[in-house]
Amino acid sequence: MTDKLVLVSHHLCPYVQRAAISLCEKDVPFERITVDLAKKPAWFKAISPLGKVPLLRVPQNSEATVIFESAVILEFLEETQANPLHPADPLARARHRAWIEFGSAILNAIGRFYSAPTEAAFLAESEALSAMFDRLEAELAAGRAGPWFAGERFSLVDAVFGPVFRYFDAFDRIGAFGILSGKPRVEAWRNRLHERKSVKDAVTPDYPQRLHAFLQAKGSHVSKLIRSEAATALP
């Protein structure tokens, strides 16, 4: 058995990505195993109580303990590894945890957006998603100078929003949906996260093609837009 941490993953899962980003930012050596969630292997079912990723296998002597749920994994890494990504102040730390939850809520809204079956539902989800980013824009405008959520220091909130913004690289190829329009601080943060090495390395090089294929196969309004626009094909 390896003496490294093992991150059990899926190619597209944004919750896996946030754990991978945290591990990279902390300079923690780890191995990554990718599973097909459509054909879950027996060994995965045996160690994943919820049947989901990510999982973190933590070596202990000759055995391993498995931790599940991304929020728990992130907190475990904060408690056991160097290079903290949470602020030291308890109130600031609580605020960061709250915005991490907001990031998870945005991921749920993104899922509703790309799964919307009709144009009407799609437009409604688009408006709701835009409103969430309006709230985020206001928070970023609240006087915190620096490139990251909390200023000069990269934090777990940044690790959570890197995978959020990655979806918009795919959406921008499909159409001009305007969800991030008029939100300059959000757009600037998105661009900085796009260039962060830990964020880039959290996915494989074929991630854009995999996500595009996933969206095309959804049977949703977004799927129809992809099929109707030949120009959206990836190079």
**Is 235's pLDDT higher than 80?**
no
Band (1; pLDDT cuts 50, 70, 90)? very low
Average pLDDT, the chain: 95
| Cβ–Cβ under 8 Å, residues 66 and 56 | yes
Band (231; pLDDT cuts 50, 70, 90)? very low
| Cβ–Cβ under 8 Å, residues 64 and 57 | yes
pLDDT at 46: 97
* Percent of the chain with pLDDT strictly greater than 90: 91
The alpha-carbon radius of gyration of the chain (Å, integer) is 18
- Compare 234 and 4 and report the one with higher pLDDT: 4
CA angle (216 as vertex; 211, 218 as ends), nearest 5? 95
List, for residues 107-119, the tens digit of each pLDDT value: 999 999 999 999 9
pLDDT at 141: 92
pLDDT at 2: 59
**Is 173's pLDDT higher than 60?**
yes
pLDDT at 232: 42
Q: What are the chain's domains?
A: 5-80 (3.40.30.10), 90-232 (1.20.1050.10)
pLDDT at 45: 97
- Compare 88 and 229 and report the one with higher pLDDT: 88
Strand order in the sheet with 5-9: 30-34, 5-9, 55-60, 63-68
Distance CA 70, CA 22 (A): 11
- Compare 233 and 95 and report the one with higher pLDDT: 95
pLDDT at 228: 82
List, for residues 119-133, the tens digit of each pLDDT value: 999 999 999 999 999
Band (143; pLDDT cuts 50, 70, 90)? low
Q: Which of 211, 193, 197, 166 is nearest to 11 (CA)?
A: 211
- Mean of the pLDDT values across residues 177-201? 98
